[in-house]
Amino acid sequence: MSADQVRLSAWVHGLVQGVGFRWWTRSRALELGLTGYARNHRDGRVHVVAEGPRERCETLLALLRSGNTPGRVDLVVEDWAAAQGEMSGFEER
């Protein structure tokens, strides 16, 4: 795994469940060549975890904040770490 590989963890707040948000996120992540998942949480948030080159993860983050997602995104809280490399593909969980 190269040094430019990162892990983005993004907690997405708003009306993001039951509106196709995870499917949309998975589609964008796959277009960018990222691995990871988008998972619903009981409190209404979606947790997006994506690994790949930093610039592609930043593009995904910008898309999550773009206002062009299904539903309504009120806030995205991000955290960055080194990629762990254990994921393949991008899943809706």
Question: DSSP letters along 5-48, please?
Answer: EEEEEEEEEEE-SSSSHHHHHHHHHHHTT-EEEEEE-TTS-EEE
Q: Is residue 93 flagged as an active site residue?
A: no
Task: Give bridge partners of residue 15 from the DSSP assignment.
Answer: 72
Give the active site residue among 39, 40, 54, 65: 40
Give the active site residue among 22, 26, 28, 56: 22
Q: Is residue 68 flagged as an active site residue?
A: no
* Catalytically annotated residues: 22, 40
